[in-house]
Every structure is written in C-alpha cells, then in structure tokens.
Amino acid sequence: MLGYSPQKLLNCGQDYSNSRTFWLLLTSLWQNKPALEVIQYALLLEQGKFGLDAQEAFHFACFRHEITKKYPVSISYYERLLKAAMDTAEKHGHGYLDELVEEYCQLKAKGQTSVHQLQEARLGWGFKTFVYAPKVDGLSSIQEFSGRELSLDFVRKCLKNSFTQATGTAKFGLLSLHVSKNMLEGSTGCHEWEAGLKLGEFVLSDTNLVRERCCLELGCGAGALAVCVLRAGARHVICTDGDAGALENCRQNIERNVSELLASQAPTRPRIEYQQLRWEDGWHGDASPSVVLGADLLYDPGVIPSLVEILRSALSPKGRLAVERRPFALIATTVRNDSTVESFVTRAVQRGLRVEEVASPAGKEDVEFVDVPMLQNPLARIVVHRIESQDLP
C-alpha cells in the first residue's frame, strides 16, 4: 500500500501510481521544467498520443495530486502548461478534456486555477518541489532504473517516505521552496540555486558533518540548504542573509518543510535563528558555530574580501575550548568563472585559512536530488571547499 491515496485514473482504468513515466511527469512539473517536457511525459503514458487518457493524467498531476495542491507552481507557469496542453491536443486532433478547458478558461478569465483558489497566490511566486533519495547501486537517476524491478521499489519508497511525512528524513524527502520567478524582485536569494542543493546532498549523505552541531549559514537565500541541515540533525542553525526579504522567505520555507521537527517536544528539537547579516559587517554573534555553510556566494568577485574575513571570524579559535571539535566551513560554488574561485582560494590562504576541495562526502549511501539536470551534468561544475582556520591546533 502506498503512502498516499493511490488515485485511480478512472477514465482509462489505469493506476499510474507505480508508473515511472508518471513519476517523471510529476517531478518535472514540480521542478517547473519546460511545459513541453512535462507534456511529453503525459504523451508517453498514452503511446505518444495526447488523447483523453494522457490529458487526464496531466490534469491529475497539475490539479489533483496532493503535493501539487499543497505546493502549487506559479500562475505564469500554469499559463504556459495549459497553453502547451491546449496546443498539443489541437495538434494531435484529439478532443479536449473538459476539466482542462475549465481550468484554462478560469485562468484566462480570473487569473487563477482551482489550485490557487485554495491558497493565496502571490504574483510571480510559486513553489518548486524537489525529491531526494539515496542513489542505488551508484545509479544517479531514477530514469536509469527503467525496466528494472528496482524502479518500482524505489518509487514506492520515495512516495512512502516523502509524501506521508511533512518533514521527510535525511535519506528520503521532499523539499518545497516558495520562490520568485521574477529576477527583479528581491535578491538572488528568492530563488533556488543548484549549489545549495548540491551542498544539501552533501550533508544528507554524510549527516555526521552537521549532526548535533551548531551551524551558521551565510547567504541562506530561499533556505534549501538550511532545510537539509535541519533534517540531517543539526542542533542549532543560524540562518543569515544580507537581504531581509530573502531571510523572511527562508523562514517561511523552513517552517513549511520542517514543521513537525519544530513542533516536536523532544529534547532534540533544534534551535533556529534568523539574522540579517551582511558579510561586510563581520560575524559578532555570541554563538561559536562548529560548521559554517554557504552556497553560491561567489558570483560577484567583489564580495571575496568580506566573505573571507567573515569566514575567518566565524572560524576563529577565540573563546573556543581546546577540546571542542575543530570548526570548519563548507562552501559550495557553481564555477561560472575559474578566476573568481582561484581568487577566493588565494585570498583565503593568504588570510590564514586552510582550503581543501572536497569532491564528494564519505559514505556509500549518497543521497541525491532526483532528476535535477544540473546536478547530474558532469560538465556543470559545482565545487565544494572545506575551510578551516590554520590558527587552531
């Protein structure tokens, strides 16, 4: 029995809950992949046709699946999806599914869908939802399980563990982020960035990195990494960002994703703090973090000096007991320009920090965000640096 109500698609007597293609339809929709890619998976469910069965599956994924209803994609993305669906049905010469036509008309007339009636939709904002799970046999994507017994098992496990719990666990889970599609609104922190997901995979794969520790995140943005760090068992997480809007959005995303953890009465319930912090102002907090985290902070070379200084102060031995575990930072960077990364490393070493590039975390049960193309693309370089103070013994 699956962990969510297995919705029979009655029109065609099909139950897609075990279908790998339906899974891909769902995850591509949740990740806001191009509309035609989403439609493509619906077509595959009906042997290449966009007849009523395929449209029914598409409608179910877009408007009736419990996760889509809880975390709706933005209205502008729905517009693209519905337009692509109407065009495809017309091109294929099939009739339209009534429910899809209704959604389309409602969107055109009132600027909302049945899903948005349930929630207040902020213009330009919507959810992106990612699923993470362990790699099995070193295979990197659920797509590669095609045709194997393992695939259904894997899907079942993901569904059971992700969709029945609001929080997920360190190994299986769902991460839903409220993000803005409008790059002009707010800072870069109102979007998700692959380096944050990559570092999230890193800590979920090797939870010892953060378990029971006090973690300080610099430039936390929408909160993807902070959610992973909390699920991996951190004791105290201090989320910081220079942008107040991004920080508030991060707070809301954390509350959505780890609500059960935060409501728990257990003594292990983590403490979370939010602080507006510009790197230029340095770290003067009371807490001595044992782990400092940051993802995609190096997109502007101008920030390097202040970033290095704040790392120095956050990792400094000042006030720490000799018996404490050696504090370290993990900084993940999408390499857009080699020289920016080189300048950062050079500056950090000059200022007394030890920097090491760490490729992948220890532990054989690597956790990955499923079907996120950039994380699986060997040409897209995301490096993770482990940084320590040289002043500590």
Ligand X SMILES: C[S@@+](CC[C@H](N)C(=O)[O-])C[C@H]1O[C@@H](n2cnc3c(N)ncnc32)[C@H](O)[C@@H]1O
Tell which one of 97, 158, 246, 370 touches ligand X (CB under 6 A): 246
Please report how close the Cβ of residue 254 comes to ligand X at its closest, in angstroms: 13
With beta carbons less than 8 A apart as the criterion, state whether 270 and 230 touch: yes
| Dihedral over alpha carbons 45, 377, 32, 148 (to 10 degrees) | 30
Q: Which is nearer to ligand X, 96 or 299 (CB)?
A: 299
β-bridge pairing 214-218 and 353-357: unpaired
Q: Taking CB under 6 A as the rule, which mask of x and - marks residues 64-83 in contact with ligand X?
A: --------------------
Under rule CB under 6 A, residue 226 binds ligand X: no
Q: Which residues ranging from 254 to 283 are in contact with ligand X (CB under 6 A)?
A: 278-280
Told to check if 222 binds ligand X by CB under 6 A, we report: yes
For the sheet with 125-134, list strands across it: 173-180, 125-134, 367-369
Q: Please state at what angle helix 52-59 crosses helix 98-110, rounded to 10 degrees.
A: 50
Backbone angles phi, psi at 127, to 5 degrees: -95, 150
39 in Cβ contact with 50 (< 8 Å) = yes
How do strand 291-295 and strand 328-334 relate by DSSP bridges? Answer: parallel
Give the integer Cα–Cα distance in Å for 31 and 353: 37
- Residue selected from 196, 233, 270, 289 as contacting ligand X according to rule CB under 6 A: 196
237 contributes a contact to ligand X by CB under 6 A: no
List b or e across 144-153, with b for residues whose CB sees 16 or more CB atoms inside 10 angstroms: bbeeeeebee
Pick 54 or 314: Cβ nearer ligand X: 314
Please identify, using beta-carbon distances, which residue of 72 and 221 lies nearer to ligand X.
221
- CA 310 to CA 281: how far, in whole Å? 8
Contacts of 263 (CB under 8 A, 6+ apart): none
| Only segment of 99-107, 159-167, 216-224, 284-292 that touches ligand X (CB under 6 A) | 216-224
Decide: is 224 part of the binding site for ligand X (CB under 6 A).
yes
Q: Does 202 bind ligand X (CB under 6 A)?
A: no
192 is a site residue for ligand X (CB under 6 A): yes
The residue among 73 and 293 lying less far from ligand X, judged by its C-beta, is: 293
**168 touches ligand X by CB under 6 A:** no
Per CB under 6 A, the list member of 56, 243, 366, 368 interacting with ligand X is 243
At closest approach, how far in Å is the CB of 95 from ligand X?
43
Residue from 168, 173, 219, 270 in contact with ligand X (CB under 6 A): 219
Question: Helix or strand or coil: residue 181?
Answer: coil
* Shortest Å, Cβ 300 to ligand X: 7
- DSSP characters over 86-114: HHHHHHHTPPPPHHHHHHHHHHHHHS--H
Q: State the minimum distance, in angstroms, from the CB of residue 174 to ligand X.
A: 17
* Binding range to ligand X, per CB under 6 A, among 122-130, 189-197, 202-210, 261-269: 189-197
The contacts of residue 2 (CB under 8 Å, 6+ apart) are 17, 156, 159, 160
Q: Which is nearer to ligand X, 90 or 273 (CB)?
A: 273
Q: Which is nearer to ligand X, 38 or 175 (CB)?
A: 175
Q: Binding residues for ligand X, per CB under 6 A?
A: 187-189, 192-193, 195-196, 219-222, 224-225, 241-243, 246, 278-280, 295-297, 299, 303
